[in-house]
Chains A and B, each alone.
Chain A
Amino acid sequence: MEFVGFRNFEYLLKDPLFWKSIANTLIIWILSTIPMIILALVIAFLLNSAFVKFSGLYKTLYFLPNVTAIVSVAIVFGVIFAPNYGLINYFVTLLGFDAIDWHNNSFGVKLAISAMIIWRWTGYNAIIFLAGLQKISGDIYEAAKIDGASSFQIFTKITIPLLKPVLLFVVITSTIGGMQTFVEPQLLVGNSGGAGGEGLTIVLYLYQQAFVKNLYGYGSAIAIGLFFIIILFSLINWKFVQRKG
């Protein structure tokens, strides 16, 4: 091993694929995290409402995606999003539309990856929110109902503010997780990230350099770049969520 100084970093800053992988990661993060958090909040809120029976069963079923081993998830999603013989394209073409190239179309790849992330992590986050909801005393809801508040008002005026610390937790961990998105794109388009690297995320790029091309030093340089990006976003999140309350 030789010391190469800052050559790796110089190369990194001029590497178009590195910048592309950052852009891809951010787009996938936005496409997945926002719907995921909203869906998880709604599910948790519904499951916490008194009227839902069998909430234990529901929780278990929503928890299944996260517990299912990744091997089988890969196979199933491979079938769902396959471009030529995929399940979704089967229906898309039945309806008379053009098949979507989930592996190579710039937006299609990102949408498919986001869908996998949403699928795997929504139930998990819903259960986090549910735990958070349960520390909110039932009395507060009772009082609000007596005052004639609607469900929506209760949700936005009571639930969300009291849930703030847990919400912050979910937002920060989703950010860290989102910036490190790796398994889903690798399963869908392989180590290359698909044609033109449309599904190449930062960590997938890191993995490709370090473990496929044996450029471990360059992989480490990518990781340091990633580290700064995550810190930056975590700080932004932190300030943003802190202020909101």
Chain B
Amino acid sequence: MKKITLLIVGVLLMAILGACGNESSSAKEDNKITLWYWNRGLDEAVLEKVKEEFPDVEFVAQKLPPGSDYKTKLSSLLASKNSDDAPDLVLMNIWVSEYLPHADKFANLYEYGGADLEKIYPTWKTSQAVTGDGKTMIAVPVDTAPTGFFYREDIFSKAGIANSPEELSEKVSTWDGYVDVLTTLKEKTGGYAVTSIKDAFSNYVNKLDNRVFDENDNFIGDQQHIKEAWDKVIELDEKGLVFGNIDELSQEWNAALNNDEIVGYDGPVWAKDILIDTTPDTAGKWKVSRSPINDGNDGGSFLAVLKSSKNPEVSAEIAKFINSSENQITSYKNLSLFPAEMDALESDELDHNEEFFGGQNTTEIFAESAKNVKEAYRGSKESIVFTAFRDELDLVKVKGKDPEEAWLDALEKIERDLGL
């Protein structure tokens, strides 16, 4: 019996060491280029084209789950030294700026024609992947996420607010006009177009040309421009124009949309597909106007080359190829990845009338918005700042905390966290 057990254990051990294989730990072939991306983050049709365009390269694209899981995997990779298993190219999201302190882990694209990229993509986009000193560019733009104001045309016109997107764009172009529109909406229909104070705050900051850090990474979130944003969204709440404290894109949010309680939304272009998926019963009743006050940007990804790559030059070429004008148009058609490239935005091929939006060609709106987004330095520590601001805005909305006290508490918390 004893012998049999030992035999079984032995066989299984062999199985582990054998079947798990050593093929993975063998040195990578010199012409192999690996790319990490997340589901729907890059267009697979375009990735296939890479193989034709670079026949000498063995190109492997590895699809990973999206969101924070992807980021955790990337963080683990960058925290380690050994780079034999690391990919050459990695897709990154708007959180690219959080990795700027680790710019030494990435190939500096200025050495591979990065300056040219700045001519064909909007500066507000490329600058998100450039270090504060302006010396290192760590990623190539993929898509952008310009914002627009989604609204229920039937409800807005019944309330006498506006009869066309142009008219509404005009009315919400100033803060007072926006407040008027929200007030009329609430009084005439009981509907809301602002989900929570904290999201209104984030949206507002997304429209500014200064955020919470300057280019030397000094904290400037305690200054007038941010306080003004704070005061304005508090004003919305005090006038009863904020729906509640629910998260955008949550189930609650979906339900509120379906029940005609949230009838407008200042959101990014990718929210289009979410609306289409979650509120099929309201098809044809939505329209998009320009964002209130200013155009903003909420999301959008980048493609970076890791320093450890054996072929940084080819990798950079592949990154540029994937995001060439032509391929960005294909990706937009297949996956609604909104093109970052300015020439692509001009293309007629993007134009089409969308039934869900009552036949409107919404691309026009978002393309115009993309041209007007302001350049703003983000820095690597924004999440610390926004966590504190949003937590305090929660308390204002839910527990009725005094907004001035909340503002001071948020600043105190930020100061302490930034000191860590």
Contact = CB atoms under 8 A, between A and B. Distances in A.
Contacts of A8: 420
Interface in A180-238: 190, 192, 194-197, 208, 211-215, 217-218
Given A82-B252, A84-B252, A212-B383, A7 B420 contact: yes
Contacts of B383: 212-214
B417 A215 contact: yes
A91 interface: no
B399 interface: yes
A211 B383 CA distance: 10
A58 interface: no
Interface of A: 4, 7-8, 11, 75, 78-79, 82-85, 101, 103-104, 190, 192, 194-197, 208, 211-215, 217-218
A83 B394 CA distance: 15
Contacts of A196: 391, 394-395, 398-399
Contact of A208 (B250, B387, B420): B387
Interface string B224-267: 00000000000000000000111100111001100100000000
A192 B391 contact: yes
Contact of A217 (B71, B72, B250, B420): B420
A218 B420 contact: yes
Contact of B417 (A75, A103, A197, A213): A213
B395 A195 contact: yes
24 contacts: A8-B420, A78-B250, A82-B251, A82-B252, A83-B244, A84-B252, A84-B255, A84-B256, A85-B252, A85-B259, A104-B394, A192-B390, A194-B394, A195-B245, A195-B399, A196-B398, A196-B399, A197-B391, A211-B68, A211-B71, A211-B72, A212-B387, A214-B98, A217-B420
B397 interface: yes
Contacts of A192: 387, 390-391, 394
Q: Which 4 A-B pairs have the closest CB atoms?
A: A195-B394, A85-B255, A195-B398, A104-B398
A78 B247 CA distance: 12
Interface in B80-106: 98
A208 B391 CA distance: 12
A213 B398 contact: no
A104 B396 CA distance: 12
Contacts of B245: 103-104, 195
Contacts of A213: 383-384, 387, 417
Contacts of A101: 398
A84 to B, nearest CB: 5
Nearest to B71: A211
A84 B244 contact: yes
B246 A11 contact: no
Nearest to B394: A195
Contacts of A84: 244, 246, 252, 255-256
B141 to A, nearest CB: 23
Interface of B: 68, 71-72, 75, 98, 244-247, 250-252, 255-256, 259, 380-381, 383-384, 387, 390-391, 394-395, 397-399, 416-417, 420
Which of B246, B259, B380: most chain A Cβ within 10 A? B246
A8 to B, nearest CB: 7
Nearest to A14: B416
A75 B72 CA distance: 22
A194 B250 CA distance: 14
B256 A85 contact: yes
A83 B391 CA distance: 18
A141 to B, nearest CB: 34
A236 B324 CA distance: 64
A83 B252 contact: yes
Given A195-B395, A214-B98, 12 more contacts: A11-B416, A82-B252, A82-B255, A83-B246, A84-B244, A84-B252, A85-B251, A85-B255, A85-B256, A103-B246, A212-B387, A217-B420
Contacts of B397: 195
Contacts of A215: 384, 417, 420
Which of A11, A101, A196: most chain B Cβ within 10 A? A196
Which of B259, B384, B394, B416: most chain A Cβ within 10 A? B394
A226 B256 CA distance: 39
A44 to B, nearest CB: 32
B79 to A, nearest CB: 8
A134 to B, nearest CB: 25
A197 B388 CA distance: 11
